[in-house]
């Protein structure tokens, strides 16, 4: 006797439902797991001797306090020329002793700090730029309170570069910005990091639930238009494996004048200082000397572009 085909439908439907629920569960689990390393980054330990003193720069330890009550650990070097540079690191990092010493070596005051949830600072949640603007505000407030500081510029790398652009858009006290390997929007980063398009909505949901910040709020491409007439220098390796390869170009196109760019046709992220230290130092210091101190330099009449052009 033949069994009626419809008798198998409950089994088929049950199996399909189980498969679908498992697939949805796996996507949700993977999505939440995927954003954890960004929202709750593992702190990178800094070696005890990894300070500006390693490079011959004097400094003192200071503590910054954000408007939401977090204590951030920082280094401060007073200026010899009246100008100070805020130095903001990227995610999964900490205060950068080599960058701090670079600016101090040229007579600039320097304030570099560990972002919230990084290094020795308080906090356990990273928003990749949204709440980190409060950290920049705390650094800026400290800098403005120093009697020997008359001009303030900022250097930021990766997340630090994006955060500096966001903060500078509403803080005219930041007179000039260098952004190295800054991503142009967090939405673009989300799309780049998602394993497949179907992961984007749950990853966005979990990121926004964990941080309380909207992904769309971290938009340096929109913010940079508000810097003009303050100058900006954008730096990136053209083949960047971490952020969109056209980030610096998009930011450059969105910026008003005066604007400069240095985009090198090679692979790397935040790598140009290590790969081209002399050229990096010359370009960055010429920029700040010119726009903060009013000193004429070899590049003062040109706009830096693609290396070799």
* Per-residue pLDDT tens over the stretch 70-116: 999 999 999 999 999 999 999 999 999 999 999 999 999 999 999 99
Alpha-carbon distance of 283 to 276, in angstroms, equals: 11
* pLDDT tens string 201-214: 888 998 999 999 99
Question: Residue 251 has which token pair?
Answer: 């930011």
pLDDT of residue 305: 38
Residue 195: pLDDT band by 50, 70, 90 thresholds?
A: confident
Residue 85 forms beta bridges with which residues?
A: 110, 153
Alpha-carbon distance of 75 to 78, in angstroms, equals: 10
Mean pLDDT over the full length of the chain: 90
pLDDT of residue 9: 61
* pLDDT tens string 251-301: 999 999 999 999 999 999 999 999 999 999 999 999 999 999 998 765 433
DSSP E strand stretches across 30-141:
60-65, 71-77, 83-88, 109-113
All structural domains of the chain, each given as residue ranges with its CATH number in brackets, are 17-293 (3.40.50.1820)
Statement: residue 303 has pLDDT above 70: no
Statement: residue 170 has pLDDT above 70: yes
Q: What average pLDDT score do residues 212-236 get?
A: 97
Statement: residue 3 has pLDDT above 90: no
Alpha-carbon distance of 163 to 89, in angstroms, equals: 10
Alpha-carbon distance of 94 to 269, in angstroms, equals: 16
pLDDT of residue 158: 98
Write b or e for each residue in 130-158: b if 16 or more Cβ atoms lie within 10 A of its Cβ, otherwise e.
Answer: bbbbbbbbbbbebbeeeeebebbbbbbbb
């Amino acid at each position: 006797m033949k069994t009626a085909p419809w008798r198998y439908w409950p089994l088929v439907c049950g199996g399909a439902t189980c498969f679908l629920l498992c697939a949805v569960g796996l996507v949700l689990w993977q999505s939440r797991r995927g954003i954890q390393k960004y929202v709750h980054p593992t702190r990178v330990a800094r070696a005890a001797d990894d300070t500006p003193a390693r490079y011959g720069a004097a400094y003192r330890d200071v503590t910054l306090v954000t408007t939401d009550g977090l204590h951030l650990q920082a280094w401060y070097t007073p200026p010899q020329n009246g100008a100070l540079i805020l130095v903001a690191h990227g995610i999964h990092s900490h205060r950068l002793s080599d960058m701090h010493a670079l600016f101090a070596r040229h007579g600039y005051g320097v304030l570099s700090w560990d972002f919230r949830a990084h290094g020795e600072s308080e906090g356990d949640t990273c928003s990749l730029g949204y709440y980190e603007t409060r950290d920049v505000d705390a650094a800026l407030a400290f800098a403005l309170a120093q009697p020997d500081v008359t001009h303030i510029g900022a250097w930021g790398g990766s997340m630090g570069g994006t955060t500096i652009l966001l903060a500078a858009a509403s803080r005219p006290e930041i007179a000039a910005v260098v952004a190295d390997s800054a991503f142009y929007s967090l939405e673009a980063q989300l799309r780049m990091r998602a394993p497949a398009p179907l992961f984007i909505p749950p990853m966005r949901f979990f990121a926004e639930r964990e941080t309380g910040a909207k992904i769309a709020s971290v938009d340096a491409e929109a913010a940079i238009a508000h810097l003009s007439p303050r100058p900006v220098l954008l730096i990136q390796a053209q083949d960047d494996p971490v952020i969109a390869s056209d980030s610096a170009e998009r930011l450059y196109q969105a910026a008003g004048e005066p604007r400069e760019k240095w985009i090198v046709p090679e692979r790397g992220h935040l790598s140009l200082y290590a790969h081209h230290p002399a050229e990096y130092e010359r370009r960055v210091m010429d920029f700040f000397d010119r726009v903060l101190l009013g000193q004429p330099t070899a590049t003062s009449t040109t706009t830096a572009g693609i290396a070799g052009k």
